[in-house]
Amino acid sequence: MGKNLSIATISLLLVLASTNAIQVFDVKSYGAKPNADITQALTKAWKAACAVAGSKVVISTGAYKLGLVTLKGPCKGAIEFNLQGTLQAPSDVASFKGKDGWVIFESIDGLTVSGGGVFDGKGQLAWEKNDCNKDKNCNVLPINIRFNYITNSIVKDITSKDSKFFHINLLECKKLQFQHVTITAPADSPNTDGIHIGRSSQITITNANIGTGDDCISIGDGNQDVSANQVTCGPGHGISIGSLGKYKNEQPVSGIRVIGATLSNTDNGVRIKTWPSSPPGVASNIHFEDIVMKNVGNPIIIDQNYCPNNQCSNNSPSKVKISNVSFKKIRGTSSTKEAVKLICSKSVPCQQVVLSDIDLAYKGGGGSTTSSCANVKPAVSGKQNPPACTNKLQ
- DSSP states along 13-55: HHHHHHHTPPEEEEGGGGT--TTSB-HHHHHHHHHHHHTSSSE
Helix/strand/coil for 96: helix
Catalytic residue of the set 120, 162, 237, 267:
237
- According to DSSP, residue 127 is labeled H
**Can you tell me the distance from the alpha carbon of 272 to that of 298, in angstroms, rounded to the nearest whole number?**
12
**Can you tell me the distance from the alpha carbon of 61 to that of 73, in angstroms, rounded to the nearest whole number?**
25
Helix/strand/coil for 93: helix
Residues in contact with 78: Cβ distance below 8 Å, sequence separation at least 6, in sequence order: 54, 55, 110, 111, 112
**Can you tell me the distance from the alpha carbon of 163 to that of 140, in angstroms, rounded to the nearest whole number?**
13
- According to DSSP, residue 133 is labeled T
Catalytic residue of the set 120, 162, 193, 214:
214
Count CB-CB contacts under 10 A for residue 146.
22
Query: Shortest CA distance to 284 belongs to which of 248, 259, 262, 251?
Result: 251
Q: Is 100 considered catalytic here?
A: no
| Cβ(199)–Cβ(169) below 8 Å | no
**Can you tell me the distance from the alpha carbon of 257 to that of 233, in angstroms, rounded to the nearest whole number?**
16
* Pairing outcome for strands 391-393 and 79-83: unpaired
| Cβ(142)–Cβ(93) below 8 Å | yes
Q: Is 167 considered catalytic here?
A: no
The DSSP element (H or E) to which 285 belongs, if any, is strand 281-296
**Can you tell me the distance from the alpha carbon of 347 to that of 344, in angstroms, rounded to the nearest whole number?**
9
Single-letter residue type at 55? S
- Residue 269, CA atoms < 13 Å, CB-side half-sphere: 33
Q: Which residues pair with 259 in a beta bridge?
A: 229, 289
Residues in contact with 313: Cβ distance below 8 Å, sequence separation at least 6, in sequence order: 276, 277
* Catalytic residue positions, numbered: 214, 237
